[in-house]
């Protein structure tokens, strides 16, 4: 593969991930535009084609959606999501014979996926093949036994889970391997500047009280919901809304897959299996201070009740824990913060606040971490006259436990 091909694939991935952000905000037309650009850059991206087909169907373009799913399967005939979506699209057109062909292929790809058996059952029901429908429904319930049996329709979308602790440790390990120094339990207390340019930063070790100064020409303020407080040390203004979100974990892996409500993003709409736990999340409320947050009793009750609608008796499982953390939403809000986009915002304070060398990054989420790093590092490199591209998209993260081996 040539370097030009790698660049095209890289930009296609950026457009794809941007599309996912837009789709989450309800901007379907804009998301479709980004996906069209992504597949033009990389026509062999079956996943981008699959998501494009799904959104075209959402926009009321079933014919184009169907052809897009066919293109995805032509690129990768074992792409599970496209295979299921193609079968479902054909079923919606009452082309039941071909629908069954694709759904049965999906069943061969992943026999333990309950969704496939449910969709096959729905096709048999629509053809009045009731014995076959019952058999497929029974198989679906065997695989995901705890899903609410009153579920009327299910769809498969690209999704997954992360271990938040290990993901952070993988970034730390990779940074240390490239020469970074990680200072844990260390608070920024002062940002030094001269004639409108960053000169250094002073920090305090919380455990010992020891203060140190580090000389530097550039600072990246990636302090999340505390970004405004860090910027204020340099008399800079950063509009950020700390939005507290609560999650609840019970013991037992109740499902094999992530289970979400089919609706616009809201509170209590997703159950995530992780290791030997099941987690229901989340809530969102505006807070003035991101420090010392605790779950509210009414939040825990609401989440457990919402979980019971998805997985009956979820709330009867042994309670493990509940926790609250603040999301750093870019912008200011007088409401709960849901109207604020989670889009990425990079602020060059040399252009907005007359302090060269200070950069703030806000917004985003776990799925866009590396894009966020690339966006801000490209601006810092330009400021420092470093003519090198960001390579994060080409760098595989080290295993999380390498942090202790390398430190």
The model's pTM is 0.66
Cβ(122)–Cβ(155) under 8 Å? no
The helix (H) or strand (E) run that includes residue 352 is helix 349-352
CB atoms within 10 A of CB 351: 10
- The tens digit of pLDDT for each residue in 168-204 reads 999 999 999 989 999 989 999 999 999 999 999 999 9
Find residue 359's DSSP bridge partners. Answer: 220, 348
- Give 73's DSSP letter: H
Going from N- to C-terminal start, the domains of the chain cover: 44-143, 164-184+219-235+341-406, 241-330
The mean pLDDT value for 139-145 works out to 69
Place of tokens 């090198």: 388
- Please give the CATH number for the structural domain made up of 44-143: 1.25.40.10
Q: What is the mean pLDDT of the chain?
A: 87
DSSP per position, 177-212: HTT----TTEEEEEEEEETTEEEEEEEEETTT--EE
CATH architecture of the domain 241-330 equals 2-Layer Sandwich (3.30)
- The tens digit of pLDDT for each residue in 74-132 reads 999 889 889 999 999 999 888 989 999 999 999 888 887 777 887 888 888 888 888 88
What does the pLDDT read at residue 301?
96
Lowest mean pLDDT among 3-12, 56-65, 154-163, 344-353: 154-163
Place of tokens 């007088």: 334
Lowest mean pLDDT among 26-30, 53-57, 211-215: 26-30
Band of pLDDT at residue 344, cut at 50, 70 and 90: confident
Give the rounded percent of residues in the chain with a pLDDT score beyond 90: 50
Q: What are phi and psi of 81, to 5 degrees?
A: -60, -45
Distances in Å between the Cα of 162 and the Cα atoms of 107, 190, 272 are: 26, 34, 10
């Amino acid at each position: 593969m040539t370097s030009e091909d790698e660049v095209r694939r890289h930009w296609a991935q950026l457009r794809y991930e941007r599309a996912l952000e837009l789709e989450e905000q309800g901007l379907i037309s804009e998301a479709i535009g980004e996906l069209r650009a992504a597949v033009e850059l990389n026509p062999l991206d079956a996943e981008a084609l699959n998501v494009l087909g799904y959104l075209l169907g959402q926009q009321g373009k079933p014919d184009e959606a169907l052809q897009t799913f066919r293109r995805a399967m032509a690129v990768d005939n074992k792409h599970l999501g496209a295979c299921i979506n193609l079968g479902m699209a054909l079923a919606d057109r009452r082309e039941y014979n071909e629908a069954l062909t694709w759904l049965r292929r999906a069943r061969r790809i992943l026999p333990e996926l309950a969704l496939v058996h449910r969709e096959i059952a729905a096709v048999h029901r629509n053809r009045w093949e009731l014995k076959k429908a019952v058999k497929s429904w029974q198989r679906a319930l065997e695989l995901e036994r705890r899903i609410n049996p009153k579920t009327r329709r299910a769809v498969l979308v690209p999704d997954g889970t992360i271990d938040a602790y290990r993901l952070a440790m993988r970034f730390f390990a990779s940074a240390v391997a490239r020469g970074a120094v990680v200072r844990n339990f260390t608070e920024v207390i002062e940002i030094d500047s001269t004639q409108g340019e960053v000169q250094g930063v002073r920090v305090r070790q919380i455990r010992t009280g020891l203060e140190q100064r580090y000389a530097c020409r550039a600072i990246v303020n990636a302090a999340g919901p505390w970004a405004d407080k860090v910027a204020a040390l340099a008399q800079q203004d950063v509009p950020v809304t700390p939005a507290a979100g609560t999650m609840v974990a019970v013991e037992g892996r109740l499902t094999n897959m992530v289970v979400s409500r089919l609706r616009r993003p809201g509170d209590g709409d997703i159950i995530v299996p992780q290791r030997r736990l099941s987690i229901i999340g989340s809530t969102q409320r505006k807070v003035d201070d991101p420090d010392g947050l605790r779950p509210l009793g009414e939040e825990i009750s609401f989440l457990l009740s919402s979980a019971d609608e998805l997985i009956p008796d979820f709330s009867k499982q042994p309670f493990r824990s509940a926790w609250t953390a603040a999301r750093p939403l870019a912008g200011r809000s007088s409401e709960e913060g849901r109207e604020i986009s989670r889009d990425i915002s990079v602020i060059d304070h040399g252009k907005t606040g007359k302090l060269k060398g200070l950069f703030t990054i806000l917004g985003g989420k776990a799925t866009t971490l590396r894009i966020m790093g690339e966006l801000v590092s490209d601006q810092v490199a330009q400021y420092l006259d470093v003519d090198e591209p960001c390579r994060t998209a080409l760098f595989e993260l080290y295993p999380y436990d390498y942090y202790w081996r390398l430190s």
